[in-house]
Amino acid sequence: MLSKKLEAALNKQIKIEADSSQVYLAMASWSEVQGLEGISGFMYAHSDEERMHMLKLVKFVNERGGHAEVPALEAPKKEFGSFQKMFQELFEHELFVSNSINELVHITLEERDYATHNFLQWYVAEQIEEEALARTILDKINLIGEDKGGLYLFDRDVQLITADSAAGPEPGA
């Protein structure tokens, strides 16, 4: 059974994941309008992934005797200036989400709720991958600079970038 404090914190994370899905959806739409089909596809997939993260939390809260709240969604911004700025925002957003997950884990330890602590380890690992992916993309963007040919190749290749390739080889591989 979830404590009220932990239930409230998990519901806050549900909202963060829902907001993340909306942010990435807005980035996908902006990219598509800019003619950046690869980046757009990447962002659409990322939006879906964030929604799945939210749903996983909803089911967990309800299964543990809490009541998951479906959050109201605020409209994300529509303009990002450049694809470089947009990916910098993506990276900063992932750092924000990681911090929020870490706060949740801290609460589980305070509450001695080891079942929820164990459940959240998937999110901890996921955020390590998300941050590594965002860093890899930013590194590639910095290599491109203002080169239009580089942007064309990056747009084409970004759909192939995965969290696994960003994180590097598995230990012992």
Binding-site residues from annotation for Fe cation: 17, 50, 53, 94, 127
Amino acid at 102: N
Cβ atoms 143, 153 nearer than 8 A: no
CA 15, 100, 58, 9 torsion: positive or negative?
negative
Cβ atoms 50, 21 nearer than 8 A: yes
Binding-site residue positions: 17, 50, 53, 94, 127
Q: For residues 22 and 24, what is the distance between their CA atoms, to the nearest angstrom?
A: 5
